[in-house]
């Protein structure tokens, strides 16, 4: 890349932007900010329409959003004591939810709109990431369909919004983390740290995702060069914001005499544990098939560490559900998460076999998402409820 | 943009209307056996190719001395040569005209000769035009004698010592008193500030605890804003760390013959222990020697350093400039004297212990070439060669890494005012003179100059080149140095707060807010650190109900949130520091940043105290304390370093 600059002072702001772009390695896609917004709108629009339709009649089995709504309604904003602060956990998710559900106030619909906006942004970023990694056009198209045109994602965006936002933030963090490690782009590392922190503060499952990302950062670096302290530095950059924030959260609760919020074992009753086991029996094949897809791509790319990390992530995600850290009644969260990771972990420089495999994997994912989606109890119940409410 | 503000005490009658004849026949140097014909021919060829003069080339190569050149010139012009250092001057005669203009015009009256003619030294050929000019100015017949450029400059500096001293001190204040830190507070500031202090004192008496807590609460908001601002700007700057702005290939392609004259200013004071290192460090600069003028600025009273330089046998392009005695005895005052006699088109400042990258001057030249006329200064990054010496040097390196590689890059990319760092600032001399030079009363004259440059429509840029320095490795030395920096930031804030509306008009709201958060926010942040720690721990160990009685709970939460998050943000920002240079082993040390900031806080209180009691006092940083070797010392172990005093 050349860094010879034009005579900047005579060329105005446009030239300066061009110069700055030349000096950075990660180009946005599309290049024009206006087009980028159009792409975001394009990704968000279907979800907005579905949210509008769903808002015409509320029905179906209770969803995560309903639980969040109840929680938000129960927050007493006239208090500011330490117990109250504790009950705000996860704080960012509660702030988002309170903002759109109570302050605006749009209730359920507000949260769905927020999910649609995040989906729009995530869509543009995913597209950008696939372009940066020079995915074959067919694979780009199929991955977009697999990720954004399927009942799982729709359900996640509309009915389990905070989990979706958490996954989106985690995925964006992963995208930045891989650039940080592979391209040595410092900015992306420090953005990744922030995204991970936001993910951990949006939904309780985020903590365990971030922990996995932090550990995976140790193995992502190609080992061509030994640099003193580099892996430890990467780990700190990735994990410090999350660890620091949670440590502060706990410290303040401890210091002011409150019983700290219990992260693990929250509300896990034997009955719920049985539910989770049933969940695993029912949806385990999605987890296994998706993980297998990533493993195939990782092995073709000669990056076994990626395969190992994916297996580890799947394991901790399921574990998180078992210990009551997360709530993913439809398996939609996991499916979307793993698909995003498949995209973000795929290295830019890879053997040709990977390029050949990517469209097949993407096509398989489209099929999995639809087959699993139309078989999912929660999804089917919700779609039926929406259809009934619309008089269909 | 400011006009030239360098007033002459006694102007010349007429401006020069001719180009002086610089031809000189130096063949007598060959016939006298001083140099060989080949050396002369090579020097002439190089001079012609690089738009320089052969005398300068011969001098830079240590083939001749200044005096030998003067003698050769005299022979070629058919006049006598003199050693001005041993001439008796009639000072009144010389002082009839302005000193700096003598340097520019290349002649200087010495005394009235026994035959009544005026004896005038010159380093230009004594053509009839030159004779007419001199006789017009001096009202009498003249007899020319040949001298060298540097001898004439030294003589002028000696004769006009008081002028140079006054000028270095007062030039900026004379052009605009409000831009100088000579007066700590303007009248309006004194009245307004006094009223605020009284009001605050009354609140403190009546509502003691609430006032303290609210003060800390407001301070905590400033703290969070200032730290978040730094994080955002540094993150913006980190976009550019993967691509070199000026590549080695571009530097390689620079035509040495096209390079301009470069002046290096090195202010030293009681640093006899490091001057040998200084000379070795600057010798490594990749720049044609005949176009490089190194001025070592030594205070008049500092004989020890001057002797040490002489003993180190510096190359011919190193000149010791004696800074006339005067107050305030500060680095910017010395630099102003250096600026007055500098002949370079570009100029850079280095500290005595600096080890700049060899290609730094060429990179700066390229940056100026590309940057346009409004680019007045480019700042190179500073880092430390003794980064792993102890905790303090590690923290220092982290801080500098974040500041110079990310923060300043971010400020530059966002076109925000850049407070310059203490050394390795490269200037376009014409622009620097138009700015009025440095403020000798400001103890962070560099930061002030960066802001002033922005206010006057100039730009400050950065270059991807590093100067290695010696990090402070001792706590008392650290506190001294920091207190001076923080005092300087306070001075700079006060100076530019005198006409806030004008500053906003000049630089816009965004740049103004950036200035407030960066320059004014930094001392306030540091002042807030110790009280915030105290209040946090008191809040924790007392019943929080008691605190809630004093302030609303939400205020307490905001306060705690700001303070804790602010500290976390600063730790995180400091983690960024080592990435550019690959010093990853330093990253975990960033966690100690809150403790490091307690030291800053101590220094901040000392700075405030000094601003009241000794506003212009220059807290000297002692160099040469490290036991680690600089890169130059590692390459040339024979370079001596004496223990610091």
Higher pLDDT, B137 or A283: B137
Q: Does B505 touch chain A (CB under 8 A)?
A: no
Q: Sort out which chain B residues have CB atoms less than 8 A from A256's CB and list them.
A: 540, 544
Q: Which pLDDT belongs to residue B241?
A: 73
Distance, CA of B317 to CA of B268 (rounded, Å): 17
Whether residue A194 is predicted with pLDDT greater than 90 in this model: the reply is yes
Contact map slice: B 232-261 vs A, CB within 8 A = 235, 238-247, 250
Contact map slice: A 15-74 vs B, CB within 8 A = 20, 22-25
CA–CA distances in Å: residue B157 to residues A11, A36, B254, B348, B433: 44, 63, 35, 21, 18
Whether residue B73 is predicted with pLDDT greater than 60 in this model: the reply is yes
Higher pLDDT, B366 or B645: B366
Q: Which pLDDT belongs to residue A339?
A: 85
Size of interface A-B (CB pairs under 8 A): 116
Across A251-272, average pLDDT? 64
To the nearest whole Å, the CA of B578 is away from the closest chain A CA by 9
Q: Do A233 and B560 touch (CB under 8 A)?
A: no
Whether residue B216 is predicted with pLDDT greater than 80 in this model: the reply is no
- The radius of gyration computed from the CA coordinates of chain A, to the nearest angstrom, equals 21
CA–CA distances in Å: residue A136 to residues A126, A132, A142, A345: 14, 11, 10, 16
- The radius of gyration computed from the CA coordinates of chain B, to the nearest angstrom, equals 27
Higher pLDDT, B60 or A280: B60
CA–CA distances in Å: residue A318 to residues A90, A146, B22, B507: 20, 22, 86, 56
To the nearest whole Å, the CA of A205 is away from the closest chain B CA by 23
With the C-alpha atoms ordered B352, B357, B361, B367, is the resulting torsion angle positive or negative? negative
For residue range B146-200, list pLDDT tens digits in order: 998 889 999 999 999 988 999 899 888 888 888 899 888 988 999 999 999 999 9
Pick the residue from chain A with its C-alpha nearest to B573.
Answer: A190
Q: With a threshold of 0.90, does the pTM exceed it? A: no
Q: Which pLDDT belongs to residue A62?
A: 77
3-state secondary structure chain A: CCCCCCCHHHHHHHHHHHHHHHCCCCCCCCCCHHHHHHHHHHHHHHHHHHHHHHHCCCCCCCCHHHHHHHHHHHCCCCCCCHHHHHHCCCHHHHHHHHHHHHHCCCHHHHHHHHHHHHHHHHHHHHHHHHHHCCCCHHHHHHHHHHHHCCHHHHHHHHHCHHHHHHHHHHHHHHHHHHHHHHCCCHHHHHHHHHHHHHHHHHCCHHHHHHHHHHHHHHHHCCCCCCCCCHHHHHHHHHHHHHHHHHHHHHHHHHHCCCCCCCCCCCCCCHHHHHHHHHHHHHHHHHHHHHHHHHHHHHHHCCCHHHHHHHHHHHHHHHHHHHCCCCCCCCCHHHHHHHHHHHHHHCCCCCCHHHHHHHHHHHHHHHHHHHHHHHHCHHHHHHHHHHHHHCCC
Pick the residue from chain A with its C-alpha nearest to B585.
Answer: A229
Using pLDDT thresholds of 50, 70 and 90, give the confidence band for residue A12.
very low
To the nearest whole Å, the CA of A231 is away from the closest chain B CA by 8
Across B534-546, average pLDDT? 69
Compare CB distances from B575 to A22, A187, A240 and report the shortest one's residue.
A240
Higher pLDDT, B566 or A36: A36
Higher pLDDT, B90 or A107: B90
State the best of B253, B560, B568, B576 to mutate against chain A, taking most chain A CBs within 10 Å.
B568
Q: What is the mean pLDDT of chain A?
A: 80
Whether residue B5 is predicted with pLDDT greater than 70 in this model: the reply is no
Using pLDDT thresholds of 50, 70 and 90, give the confidence band for residue A134.
confident
Q: What is the mean pLDDT of chain B?
A: 87
Q: Does B367 touch chain A (CB under 8 A)?
A: no
Whether residue B145 is predicted with pLDDT greater than 90 in this model: the reply is yes
Q: Which pLDDT belongs to residue A328?
A: 66
Whether residue A159 is predicted with pLDDT greater than 70 in this model: the reply is yes
Q: Does B537 touch chain A (CB under 8 A)?
A: no
Higher pLDDT, A124 or B554: A124
Compare CB distances from A245 to B568, B576, B579 and report the shortest one's residue.
B568
Across A189-199, average pLDDT? 93
Whether residue B87 is predicted with pLDDT greater than 60 in this model: the reply is yes
Compare CB distances from B242 to A4, A25, A256 and report the shortest one's residue.
A25
Q: Which pLDDT belongs to residue B8?
A: 47
Q: Which pLDDT belongs to residue A13?
A: 37
What domains are there in chain B, each with its CATH number? 5-159 (no CATH), 217-292+340-645 (3.90.550.10)
Whether residue A3 is predicted with pLDDT greater than 60 in this model: the reply is no
Q: Do B372 and A227 touch (CB under 8 A)?
A: no
Across B594-603, average pLDDT? 95
Whether residue A310 is predicted with pLDDT greater than 50 in this model: the reply is yes
Lowest mean pLDDT among A162-171, A231-240, B30-39, B243-252: B243-252
For residue range A41-66, list pLDDT tens digits in order: 999 999 999 988 887 766 667 788 88
Q: Do B371 and A81 touch (CB under 8 A)?
A: no
Whether residue A20 is predicted with pLDDT greater than 50 in this model: the reply is no
Q: Which pLDDT belongs to residue A329?
A: 62
ipTM of the prediction: 0.81
Lowest mean pLDDT among A322-326, B35-39, B173-177, B604-608: A322-326
**What beta strand segments (E) does B258-396 contain?**
262-268, 292-299, 318-323, 346-349, 355-356, 375-384
Backbone phi and psi for residue B120, each to the nearest 5 degrees, phi listed first: -125, 125
Compare CB distances from A183 to B242, B244, B246 and report the shortest one's residue.
B242
Contact map slice: B 567-586 vs A, CB within 8 A = 568, 571-572, 575-576, 578-580, 582, 584-586
Across B267-285, average pLDDT? 89
To the nearest whole Å, the CA of A257 is away from the closest chain B CA by 9
For residue range A334-357, list pLDDT tens digits in order: 778 888 888 888 887 788 888 888
Name the percent of chain A lying above pLDDT 70.
83
Whether residue B415 is predicted with pLDDT greater than 50 in this model: the reply is yes
Higher pLDDT, B498 or B544: B498
Distance, CA of B573 to CA of A189 (rounded, Å): 12
Using pLDDT thresholds of 50, 70 and 90, give the confidence band for residue A262.
low
Compare CB distances from B243 to A8, A23, A79 and report the shortest one's residue.
A23
For residue range B437-458, list pLDDT tens digits in order: 999 999 999 999 999 998 888 9
Whether residue A17 is predicted with pLDDT greater than 50 in this model: the reply is no
To the nearest whole Å, the CA of A3 is away from the closest chain B CA by 6
Helix (H, G, I), strand (E, B), or coil: what is residue B263?
Answer: strand
Q: Do B239 and A245 touch (CB under 8 A)?
A: no
Using pLDDT thresholds of 50, 70 and 90, give the confidence band for residue B485.
very high
């Amino acid at each position: 890349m050349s860094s010879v600059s034009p005579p900047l002072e005579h060329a105005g702001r446009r030239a300066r932007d061009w110069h700055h772009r030349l000096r950075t390695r990660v180009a946005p896609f599309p290049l024009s900010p206006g087009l980028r917004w159009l792409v975001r709108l394009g990704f968000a629009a279907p979800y907005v329409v579905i949210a509008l339709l769903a808002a015409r009649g509320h029905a179906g089995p209770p969803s995560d959003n309903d639980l969040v709504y109840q929680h938000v309604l129960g927050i007493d904003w006239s208090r500011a004591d330490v117990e109250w602060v504790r009950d705000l956990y996860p704080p960012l998710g509660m702030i988002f939810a309170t903002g759109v559900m109570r302050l605006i106030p749009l209730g359920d619909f507000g949260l769905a709109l927020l999910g649609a906006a995040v989906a729009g942004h995530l869509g543009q970023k995913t597209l950008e990431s696939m372009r940066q990694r020079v995915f074959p056009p067919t694979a780009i198209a199929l991955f977009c369909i697999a990720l954004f045109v399927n009942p799982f994602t729709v359900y996640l965006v509309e009915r389990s919004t905070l989990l979706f936002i958490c996954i989106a933030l985690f995925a964006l963090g992963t995208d930045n983390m891989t650039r940080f490690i592979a391209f040595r782009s410092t900015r992306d590392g420090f953005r990744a740290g922030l995204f991970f922190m936001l993910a951990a503060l949006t939904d309780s499952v985020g903590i365990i995702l971030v922990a996995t990302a932090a550990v995976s950062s140790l193995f992502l670096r190609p080992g061509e060069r030994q640099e003193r302290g580099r892996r430890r530095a990467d780990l700190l950059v990735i994990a410090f914001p999350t660890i620091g924030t949670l440590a502060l959260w706990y410290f303040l609760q401890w210091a002011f005499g409150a019983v700290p919020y219990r992260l693990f074992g929250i509300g896990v009753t034997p009955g719920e544990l049985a539910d989770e086991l049933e969940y695993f029996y029912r949806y385990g094949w999605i987890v296994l098939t998706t993980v297998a897809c990533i493993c195939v791509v990782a092995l073709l790319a000669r990056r076994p560490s990626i395969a190992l990390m994916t297996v580890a992530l799947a394991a901790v995600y399921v574990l998180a559900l078992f210990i009551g850290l997360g709530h993913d009644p439809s398996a939609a969260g996991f499916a979307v998460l793993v698909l995003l990771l498949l995209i973000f972990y795929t290295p830019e420089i890879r053997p040709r076999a990977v390029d050949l495999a990517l469209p097949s994997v993407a096509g398989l994912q489209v099929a999995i998402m639809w087959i699993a989606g139309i078989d999912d109890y929660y999804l089917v119940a919700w779609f039926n409820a929406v259809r009934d409410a619309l008089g269909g | 943009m400011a006009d030239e503000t360098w007033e002459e005490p006694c102007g010349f009658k007429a401006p020069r209307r001719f180009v002086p004849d610089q031809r000189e026949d130096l063949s007598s140097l060959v016939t006298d056996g001083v140099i060989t014909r080949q050396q002369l021919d090579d020097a002439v060829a190089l001079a012609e190719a690089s738009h320089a003069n052969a005398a300068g080339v011969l001098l830079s190569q240590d083939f001749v001395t200044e005096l030998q050149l003067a003698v050769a010139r005299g022979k070629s012009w058919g006049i006598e040569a003199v050693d001005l250092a041993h001439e008796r001057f009639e000072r009144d005669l010389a002082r009839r005209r302005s000193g700096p203009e003598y340097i520019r015009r290349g002649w200087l009256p010495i005394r009235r000769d026994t035959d009544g003619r005026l004896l005038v030294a010159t380093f230009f050929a004594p053509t009839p035009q030159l004779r007419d000019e001199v006789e017009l100015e001096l009202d009498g017949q003249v007899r020319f004698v040949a001298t060298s450029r540097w001898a004439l400059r030294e003589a002028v500096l000696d004769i006009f010592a008081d002028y140079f001293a006054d000028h270095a001190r007062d030039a900026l204040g004379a052009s605009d008193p409000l831009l100088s830190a000579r007066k700590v507070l303007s009248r309006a500031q004194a009245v307004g500030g006094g009223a605020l202090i009284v009001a605050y004192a009354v609140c403190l008496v009546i509502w003691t605890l609430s006032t303290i807590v609210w003060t800390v609460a407001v301070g905590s908001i400033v703290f969070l804003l200032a730290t978040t601002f730094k994080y955002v700007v540094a993150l913006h700057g980190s976009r550019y760390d993967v691509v070199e702005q000026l590549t080695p290939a571009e530097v390689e392609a620079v035509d040495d013959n096209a390079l301009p004259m470069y002046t290096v200013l090195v202010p030293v004071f009681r640093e006899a222990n490091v001057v040998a290192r200084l000379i070795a460090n600057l010798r490594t600069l990749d720049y044609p020697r005949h176009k490089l003028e190194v001025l070592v600025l030594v205070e008049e009273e500092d004989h020890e350093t001057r002797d040490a330089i002489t003993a180190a046998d510096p190359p011919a392009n190193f000149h010791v400039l004696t800074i006339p005695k005067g107050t305030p005895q500060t680095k910017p005052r010395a630099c102003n004297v250096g600026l007055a006699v500098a002949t370079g088109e570009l100029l850079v400042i280095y500290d005595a212990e600096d080890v700049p990258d060899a290609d730094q001057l060429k990179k700066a030249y390229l940056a100026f070439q590309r940057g346009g006329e409004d680019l007045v200064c480019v700042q190179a990054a500073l880092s430390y060669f003794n980064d792993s010496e102890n905790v303090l040097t590690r923290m220092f390196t982290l801080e500098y890494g974040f500041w110079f590689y990310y923060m300043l890059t971010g400020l530059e990319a966002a076109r925000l005012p850049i407070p310059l760092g203490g050394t390795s600032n490269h200037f376009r001399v014409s622009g620097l003179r138009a700015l009025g030079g440095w403020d000798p009363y400001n103890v962070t004259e560099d930061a002030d100059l960066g802001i002033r440059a922005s206010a006057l429509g100039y730009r400050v840029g950065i270059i991807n080149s590093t100067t290695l320095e010696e990090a402070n490795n001792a706590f008392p030395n650290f506190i001294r140095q920091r207190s001076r920096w923080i005092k300087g930031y306070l001075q700079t804030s006060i100076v530019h707060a005198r006409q806030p509306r004008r500053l906003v008009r000049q630089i816009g709201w965004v740049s103004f807010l950036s200035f407030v958060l960066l320059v004014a926010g930094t001392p306030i942040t540091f002042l807030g650190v110790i009280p915030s720690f105290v209040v946090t721990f008191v809040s924790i160990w007392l019943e929080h109900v008691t605190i809630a009685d004093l302030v609303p709970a939400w205020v307490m939460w905001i306060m705690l949130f700001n303070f804790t998050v602010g500290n976390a943000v600063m730790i995180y920002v400091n983690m960024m520091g080592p990435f550019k240079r690959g010093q990853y082993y330093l990253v975990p040390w960033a966690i100690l940043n809150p403790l490091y900031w307690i030291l800053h806080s101590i220094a901040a209180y000392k700075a405030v105290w000094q601003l009241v009691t000794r506003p212009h006092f220059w807290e000297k940083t002692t160099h040469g304390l490290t036991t680690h070797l600089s890169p130059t010392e590692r390459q040339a172990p024979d370079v001596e370093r004496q223990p610091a005093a």
